[in-house]
A and B are shown apart, each in its own frame.
Chain A
């Protein structure tokens, strides 16, 4: 059990963070009948949730926290809320608020770190397209790197979809990407479009009556039913719940027991072969479960197949036709090592792994399944299929930048120059080039290299 600290920045980040806490408490309540706030969860997240978000946002996320049943969980001193809006401007978030609030934020982080015997990683949740989450969120990365160099920085980043209503989102995203490239240890890119597609599919299945009454509401990965606190269903709630579930499963093996544990620092160790290539494609299954809990072996294998289907990915990409550098399977529930192995053997032939990592699988088995399910699987893949996403991002940026649209909002901020944009694009281009080089090896035959020869 290694303490992690959750830092939610901006509106998107905080909404997801809120969902996460709800689900985590629900999960621990189900496992530990006595109390809502038990040893496992306390030793894992020690009151160290730091929330940074602009005050005056409609919905008053902060007020809900401070008044609801979760109020005992959160130390209100951990909230930084007097930041006025960033106007969807990365430069405001990063440069202005960054310097303005650096000390205050640092102080809170230092205080929380004191409570942890052994802080292992920071989870930062934010979106890329706005101003606060994107700008201030990435500013924080550098601060964390300087102040706590030993602690891993895990970032869950929500990338804007092409139809994003924030016009400047390509600028914000590109500028944020550079920071992610340089200061994050591991990034889980999430795509709003993918989340939306998942919701639509579930709605379709539920409404078409195909599965009808057999789906339990509580078991929907998108549902907050049975959560500790009743929240009003807001437009992004279902989507946020999916991301929250991702985080829940990511941390399950560190929170609960199992026959093959996986700590958070093992994720980075196994999935990041080179420091710059730290973007992981995540897919989650199941997204809903049927009423019948006695799921026979066939269903279990189906779960593994689903994890490798595009429908379950949280980002739009095509890993099967690209190159795997590494893959992690985090299994929860009554699944044993033989089930894992059988499925790896079965799926391996259809997946292309890079020559020096032909058996690049990292696996974990956690005994406790998520609430409402008998088992679940989270797959994290380091795969060159993220390249198209980044290229698309670069294209959208270029289209906007060519017209110099809205640029003055950024350039008027002290410390911002056109070179900032140029550097950010270069950084992204370099990353894309790295993926290109790896892809080039895709069709080469896998050969064993000549070994060291020993004089006998």
Chain B
């Protein structure tokens, strides 16, 4: 079951490269901490999912690269080719020379229709290379013009053309303090459109990853490359093959009695992680996360890791440092708190559904009881469906033990609320609106987007 990745804009392409690189490196990591046979199965499985193969054995990423100006794609292609181990297909790129000017309207209303056929053809070609298609992974930023506007347009098209396949969008939340002045407008328009056509929105915030680079990885002069590598690591730890846990309804055996791998990105999982179309925003947390130097001197226990991860979940901490241990789940039997203020410090992060993936030594001894506590969740799903755990002995990328959490919870409530608030303030003054109306996005379209997102904010708030 393969995944076709669509990389859009500078951000999408820069990140896409790091993701494929991380997946490839991890797959070929000699220290899998598992049997050789297991390692080979892991490698083969990952490879088939994310790469196709040339006759000479070189792996080709299953990806379509799209950008409205050529510099980044050219760089991305050459960086991949330089590795000598995997590369992108030259003809899987779509490029123009003019850029989108950080204008969502231009990306969506001008580039979209103009290049629809070419882009969708490229995607179709890539789909045809797959024996069976699992779904699409679309990488884009919200702040710019191409990733955001054209990304929204392409996702919509994928929804129309491949309605039976999963569409997951990896969205990059810009730094709070400007990368792009109109980033809040672009974000609002992107999110509202994606909400209508995407199956799940996997969100990464630049601010959060920046802190991880600074505090956990100890990087002094943090570059976008560093940010993207941390991000790719997080995605890799979620995307690589793993096994469902015995006893859960997702456990499958094929007739030969060999347990096949499962992947993040299956219909069944999505049913549980995104049970209601109003709640599509997923956040990722990873533990441990540290520089390679520190790694060699550290050992972890599953108990320790999971204790931290659980607290990161319920206190909405972005990383394993500075966790607020005061936050506790509400006690059963007490009346519910009603509408929760967004400013409350001890706000407990309510989950709809969570997925934990454990990789490495002694996974089977890891106890996840803490995550099964019904107090962590809303009451919509059966506890057995609200929480899923996957495990594999095969270690990920030099981490003897690592745990990843994919959570549909109130993680993104505050960031979303902040962006909507800022965009609203700007909209009230009508600043920059002429740049959008010039290309067919009217004030009404903005209002529709605001309305949809206020709805989402309210829904998450009232969990």
Q: Which residues of A does B touch, CB under 8 Å?
A: 1-3, 43, 117-118, 120, 257, 259-261, 263, 265-266, 268-275, 325-326, 336-339, 341, 344-345, 348, 355-363, 365, 448-449, 451-454, 456
Q: Interface residues of B, CB < 8 Å — how many?
A: 53
A270 touching B224, Cβ below 8 Å = no
Nearest CB in chain B: distance from A41 CB, A: 14
Within 8 A of A (CB), among B148-206: 175-182
A362 touching B181, Cβ below 8 Å = yes
Contacts of A355 in B (CB 8 A): 425, 429
Task: Give me the 8 closest cross-chain CB pairs, A-B, nearest first.
Answer: A361-B178, A265-B101, A338-B222, A273-B431, A263-B99, A336-B223, A259-B224, A270-B181
Contacts of B434 in A (CB 8 A): 274-275
* Known A259-B225, A338-B214; further 5 A-B contacts with Cβ < 8 A: A261-B10, A270-B181, A273-B431, A348-B177, A452-B424
B102 touching A260, Cβ below 8 Å = no
B221 touching A357, Cβ below 8 Å = no
A452 touching B425, Cβ below 8 Å = no
Contacts of B334 in A (CB 8 A): none
Judged by a CB distance under 8 angstroms, whether B337 is at the interface is no
A266 touching B102, Cβ below 8 Å = yes
Nearest CB in chain B: distance from A22 CB, A: 24
Judged by a CB distance under 8 angstroms, whether B90 is at the interface is no
Judged by a CB distance under 8 angstroms, whether B455 is at the interface is yes
Within 8 A of A (CB), among B43-57: none
A261-B223 contact in complex given A341-B210, A344-B177, C-beta closer than 8 Å: no
Nearest CB in chain A: distance from B226 CB, A: 8
A363 touching B178, Cβ below 8 Å = yes
Contacts of A341 in B (CB 8 A): 175, 177, 210
Q: Which of B70-78, B307-315, B325-333 contacts A (4 or more CB under 8 A)?
A: B70-78
A331-B193 Cα distance, complex, nearest whole Å? 33
A215-B215 Cα distance, complex, nearest whole Å? 39
B426 touching A357, Cβ below 8 Å = yes
In the complex, per-residue mask of B408-450: 1 if CB is within 8 Å of any chain A CB, else 0: 0000000000001110111011111011000000000000001
Contacts of A263 in B (CB 8 A): 69, 98-99, 101
B69 touching A2, Cβ below 8 Å = yes
Contacts of B98 in A (CB 8 A): 2, 118, 120, 263, 265
Nearest CB in chain B: distance from A184 CB, A: 15
Judged by a CB distance under 8 angstroms, whether B362 is at the interface is no
A261-B71 Cα distance, complex, nearest whole Å? 9
B181 touching A360, Cβ below 8 Å = yes
A344-B178 contact in complex given A261-B71, A263-B99, A337-B223, C-beta closer than 8 Å: yes
Contacts of A273 in B (CB 8 A): 431-432
Please pick, from B103, B220, B435, B458, the residue contacting A456 in the complex, using a CB distance under 8 A.
B458
Contacts of A453 in B (CB 8 A): 454
Contacts of A271 in B (CB 8 A): 181
Judged by a CB distance under 8 angstroms, whether B451 is at the interface is yes
Judged by a CB distance under 8 angstroms, whether B97 is at the interface is yes
Nearest CB in chain B: distance from A196 CB, A: 32
Judged by a CB distance under 8 angstroms, whether B96 is at the interface is yes
Nearest CB in chain B: distance from A440 CB, A: 14
Please pick, from B177, B180, B454, the residue contacting A270 in the complex, using a CB distance under 8 A.
B180
A260-B10 contact in complex given A2-B97, A338-B210, A356-B426, C-beta closer than 8 Å: yes
Judged by a CB distance under 8 angstroms, whether B14 is at the interface is yes
A43-B210 Cα distance, complex, nearest whole Å? 35
A265 touching B181, Cβ below 8 Å = no
Closest to B213 in A: A338
Judged by a CB distance under 8 angstroms, whether B227 is at the interface is yes
Judged by a CB distance under 8 angstroms, whether B462 is at the interface is yes
B178 touching A1, Cβ below 8 Å = no
Contacts of A325 in B (CB 8 A): 431
A362 touching B180, Cβ below 8 Å = yes
A110-B462 Cα distance, complex, nearest whole Å? 60
A259-B426 contact in complex given A269-B435, A274-B434, C-beta closer than 8 Å: no
A325-B435 Cα distance, complex, nearest whole Å? 16
B181 touching A361, Cβ below 8 Å = yes
Closest to B214 in A: A338
Closest to B181 in A: A270
A357 touching B181, Cβ below 8 Å = yes
Closest to A273 in B: B431
Nearest CB in chain B: distance from A83 CB, A: 33
B431 touching A359, Cβ below 8 Å = no
A1 touching B70, Cβ below 8 Å = yes
A306-B262 Cα distance, complex, nearest whole Å? 56
B425 touching A448, Cβ below 8 Å = yes
**Can you list 28 residue pairs at the A/B interface with Cβ under 8 Å?**
A1-B71, A1-B97, A3-B97, A120-B98, A257-B72, A261-B72, A265-B103, A266-B101, A269-B102, A270-B102, A270-B182, A326-B181, A337-B210, A337-B224, A338-B219, A338-B223, A339-B221, A341-B175, A344-B178, A345-B177, A356-B431, A357-B426, A359-B177, A361-B177, A361-B179, A362-B178, A363-B179, A452-B451
A270-B225 Cα distance, complex, nearest whole Å? 25
A266-B99 contact in complex given A257-B71, A361-B177, A449-B425, C-beta closer than 8 Å: yes
Contacts of A268 in B (CB 8 A): 101, 435
Contacts of B180 in A (CB 8 A): 266, 270, 362
Nearest CB in chain A: distance from B457 CB, A: 8
Closest to A447 in B: B425
A231-B180 Cα distance, complex, nearest whole Å? 40
A345-B429 Cα distance, complex, nearest whole Å? 25
A274 touching B431, Cβ below 8 Å = yes
A252-B71 Cα distance, complex, nearest whole Å? 13
A451-B222 Cα distance, complex, nearest whole Å? 36
A260-B178 Cα distance, complex, nearest whole Å? 12
A337 touching B458, Cβ below 8 Å = no
Contacts of A456 in B (CB 8 A): 458, 462
Q: Which of B69, B220, B421 has the most CB of A within 10 A?
A: B69
B69 touching A1, Cβ below 8 Å = yes
Nearest CB in chain A: distance from B117 CB, A: 19
Nearest CB in chain A: distance from B113 CB, A: 16
Nearest CB in chain A: distance from B124 CB, A: 26
Contacts of A336 in B (CB 8 A): 221-224
Please pick, from A117, A269, A348, A361, the residue contacting B97 in the complex, using a CB distance under 8 A.
A117
A337-B75 Cα distance, complex, nearest whole Å? 19
A341-B178 Cα distance, complex, nearest whole Å? 9
A261 touching B69, Cβ below 8 Å = yes
A259-B69 contact in complex given A273-B432, A338-B221, C-beta closer than 8 Å: no
A451-B420 contact in complex given A2-B98, A120-B99, A338-B214, C-beta closer than 8 Å: yes
